[in-house]
Structure 1
Amino acid sequence: MNLKEHYESLYKTSIKQIEADAYDIDTLIDSPSDNRFGITLLIRPSETIKNEIQKFLDILKAIDPNQYYYVNSDIHITVMSIISCYDGFELKSINISEYITLINESIQNVSNLKIEFKGITASTSCIMVQGFMNTEALNDARNNLRIKFKNSTLKQSIDKRYTIQTAHATVLRFKEKIIDKSKFLEIVEKYKNHEFGTFEVKSIELVYNDWYQKAKFVKKLSEFSIKN
């Protein structure tokens, strides 16, 4: 996949839909009855990069404070959604040690991984920072995970929603109608090619999480070191 072309196509399509008020508002973000949980493999960007992202979000907040803005503790890159969040999932229903063993086998060849955060893309439900990997190591690991889980008896829902091949980070979700759409999209366009920075991936985490990766719900299950 050509990531640059993929992000650009997604941006063009989604911005047109947002301009036409055909964007999706998430009504569950603040719902106390949201009980969707799952387990995810993820990467956390460096604090320097997350702080740079917050500068961008602060500008959008000044225009429209009513949207859902990710705080630093929640910003992440999804490596793989092992069990996609669903209502009522509980950790006690699986043997987590078996997952850790299989994952460790799948990602052991990932090394010297760097991710560049450059530019903005969008979907009809959110704004994302574009991530670019320096090698195909992460996608190779993803393919290993797909094969190993498929050949196992472990509960999983890999690729059920979509086949992940990117390294983006969702940083904003629409939870209400945009107050000043023209100004909002003007800022998004301004940051379309903004350099947020590059970081070296030092570890990949396996977590139990809610749909939004809110820190108050996330439980780290294991951490896998990446060779540099």
Structure 2
Amino acid sequence: MNLTEHYDKLYTESAAKITAGNYEIDHLIDDEKDQRFGISLVIRPDQNTKMNIQRFLTEVKAIEPDQYYYQDSDIHITVMSIISCYAGFELKEINTEAYIRKIAMALDKYRGFNIQFKGLTASTSCILLQGFLTETLNQIRDDLRAAFKNSTLQQSIDKRYTIQTAHATIMRFRDKLRNPARLISLIEQYRDFDFGTFTVDQIELVYNDWYQRERFVESLHIFKL
């Protein structure tokens, strides 16, 4: 996949829809009864990169104060959703140690690699950082797919879609936008902004809600690369 082309196409299509008022509001963000949980492997950016992200989000908040913004603790790249979030899933249903052993075997040969967050794209429901990855991340994903393919462990890898990017969601639409045109204009200014390059030296297995909010996330294991 050509990531630049993919992000550009997504942005062009979504920006036109947002400006026209044809965007999606997530009504479950503030629903305390939302019981969608799963387990995922995630990567978290370094502190310098998160500082750059929050500086940008401060500008967005001045235009759109009513939206949902990701805190530093919640910003992540999904390596793989092992069990995609669904209503009613509980950690007690699975043997966590069996998952840790399976994943550890798949990751054993890998060492650290870099990811760059450069520029922004959008969907009709959120703003995303454009992550650019080395081939290592996709090799890790392929090895995880192979490891779980013939396993009896509960999993839903690639059931929703086949993950190929290294994007990170940083803002979601939780309410009507006050000024869609100004929002898109600001995103345009950051379309090629370098938010930072960081070394991935660990991958974390977590039990998480749909939005990876810190108060719901439980760290299950950290795999050192």
Which TM-score band applies after superposition, normalised by the shorter structure? over 0.9
Show the counterpart of 1:215: 214
Equivalence map 1:121-160=2 (5 Å): 121-133=121-133, 135-160=134-159
Q: Which amino acid aligns with 2:45?
A: P
Alignment of 1:88-103 (within 5 A): 88-103=88-103
* CA distance in structure 1 between the aligned counterparts of 2:109 and 2:170, rounded to whole angstroms: 29
Offset of residue 140 of structure 1:
0.7
Structure 1 counterpart of 2:181 = 182
- For 2:112 and 2:69, the matched residues in 1 are separated by 31
Aligned residues: 225
Deviation at 1:187, TM superposition (A): 0.4
The 3-state SS of whatever aligns with 2:73 is helix
Distance 1:123 1:108 in 2: 35
For the residue of structure 2 that corresponds to 1:41, the secondary structure is strand
Preserved CA contact (<8 Å) 2:21 2:180: no
Between the aligned residues of both structures, percent identity stands at 57
Counterpart residue number, 1:162 = 161
Superposed displacement of residue 202, structure 1 = 1.6
What 5-or-longer segments of structure 1 have no aligned partner? none
Code of the residue aligned with 1:205 in structure 2: it is E
Q: Secondary structure at the match of 1:103?
A: helix
Matches within 5 A, 1:1-228: 1-133=1-133, 135-226=134-225
Which blocks of at least 5 consecutive residues in structure 2 are unaligned?
Answer: none
**Cα shift at 1:36:** 0.6
C-alpha RMSD of the superposition: 0.8
Partners of 2:180 and 2:125 lie apart in 1 by 14
In the TM superposition, what whole-angstrom CA distance separates every residue of 1:150-195 from its partner, at most 9, and x where no partner exists? 1101100111111101111100000111101111111011100001
CA distance in 1, matches of 2:103, 2:213: 23
Deviation of the 1:203 alpha carbon: 0.5
Q: CA deviation at 1:197?
A: 0.8
Distance between the aligned counterparts of 2:112 and 2:94, measured in 1? 32
Q: Which amino acid aligns with 1:19?
A: T
Residue type of the alignment partner of 2:109: N
Q: TM-score, normalised by structure 1?
A: 0.97
- Are the aligned partners of 2:112 and 2:202 in contact in 1 as well (CA < 8 Å)? no
